[in-house]
Amino acid sequence: MAITIKKNKKAAFFTIISIVLVTSLIFFYTSSQKYSLEEQSKVIEIRILTMDSFIEDIEHDIERGLYISSMRSLIGMAEFMTKNGSFIPGFPASFNEIMLNGTIKGSIINITENATFGNWTKKIVDIGKKLNIDVEFSDLYLTPFHEDPWNVKVNVFGRINLTDRKEVASWCRDLNVTTTINIIDFEDPIYTVTSAGKLINKVIKSNITDFVSGNDASNLITHANNSWYIASNFSPSFLMRFAGNLSPSPHGIESVVNVDNLQIIAPEIYKASSSSIDYIYLGNSSISNCKVNETKTNISWFRLDNNHLNIYEANCES
């Protein structure tokens, strides 16, 4: 009987040991699994944060790239017009072409080399590869427009897809970025094309608001001699001038052609009796006009049409 008790006690001891060992193994396994899941969750979190940060960097970088490439493209269009003696054909399509490819109708524009918006998107794709992120831009379309006479806004719209190469996460979102370019000091396309590049006039905003005070027309004379610009609803906008569109715009600008200078520099386009307002003088329209009484002594060439007499506080020569 005593021997039986000893055997039962020994069996119970081994049973307890077995339970402890199995429990330990279960605890170790579940702990390992928990640790593994936590690690996986942490990896996923880090990759998502990396991609999220990368997207924010892309948006900032695209805005900067959009600004620089837009500046270069506008200057490049002036280069094209000087070289070819023509306005920009199919302006919206040509703007997209020069922004994405650095060409107009297939002709390479030197100033845009390695600085097109297309180059910027390629750089972002290359940076993504270093982070093991595949970046794809699609359906890109660029639109230049005015919200005021003195600034050009450029908007890029499209889609951007980001995929983690480890298949942890992916993003697909609309791309909608806008930048603003001030037009001051850009060359006026109308002067460039009509004079075959001989007469260049940069857009300089006039600070004169009161052109004639009593019998004093010195402000008007200064403004006209310098071919400065004012905003005018009668005139084409800066962007319209690239396409040779001389229709009126709510964002229009205009200058006075210094006819004395033009007669010396580009005598082949000289007109003896045309309104001196740029889009009229350099265009093909024939509008009734007269010599300006207030400036007849100092700048006898200065003529205005009826629409502009009030704007410049002037009267016809009596």
What pairs with residue 145 in β-bridges?
153
Closest-CA residue to 72 (of 181, 150, 146): 181
Residue type, 65: G
128 and 162 in contact (C-beta within 8 Å)?
A: yes
Torsion of the alpha carbons at 62, 67, 69 and 75, rounded to the nearest 10: 170
pLDDT value at residue 303: 97
Average the pLDDT over 123-128 and give the result. Answer: 90
The per-residue pLDDT for range 61-119, each reduced to its tens digit, is 889 999 999 999 999 999 999 999 999 989 999 999 999 999 999 999 999 988 999 99
The per-residue pLDDT for range 227-247, each reduced to its tens digit, is 999 999 999 999 999 999 999
Percentage of residues of the chain with pLDDT beyond 90: 67
Element (H, E) at 304: strand 303-305
Average the pLDDT over 4-11 and give the result. Answer: 47
Q: Which residue has the higher pLDDT, 20 or 40?
A: 40
pLDDT value at residue 315: 95
The per-residue pLDDT for range 170-225, each reduced to its tens digit, is 778 898 999 999 999 999 999 999 999 999 999 999 999 999 999 899 999 999 99
The per-residue pLDDT for range 252-299, each reduced to its tens digit, is 999 999 999 999 999 999 998 999 999 999 998 889 999 999 999 999
pLDDT value at residue 90: 92
pLDDT value at residue 5: 39
pLDDT value at residue 19: 47
Rounded distance between C-alpha atoms, residue 79 and residue 35, angstroms: 64
Which letter does DSSP use for residue 277 in this model? B
In this predicted structure, the answer to whether residue 25 has a pLDDT above a threshold of 80 is no
191 and 201 in contact (C-beta within 8 Å)?
A: yes
What pairs with residue 146 in β-bridges?
152
The most distant pair of C-alpha atoms in the chain lies apart, rounded to whole Å, by 147
Residue corresponding to tokens 């060992």: 21
Token pair of 178, please? 């806008």
pLDDT value at residue 35: 47
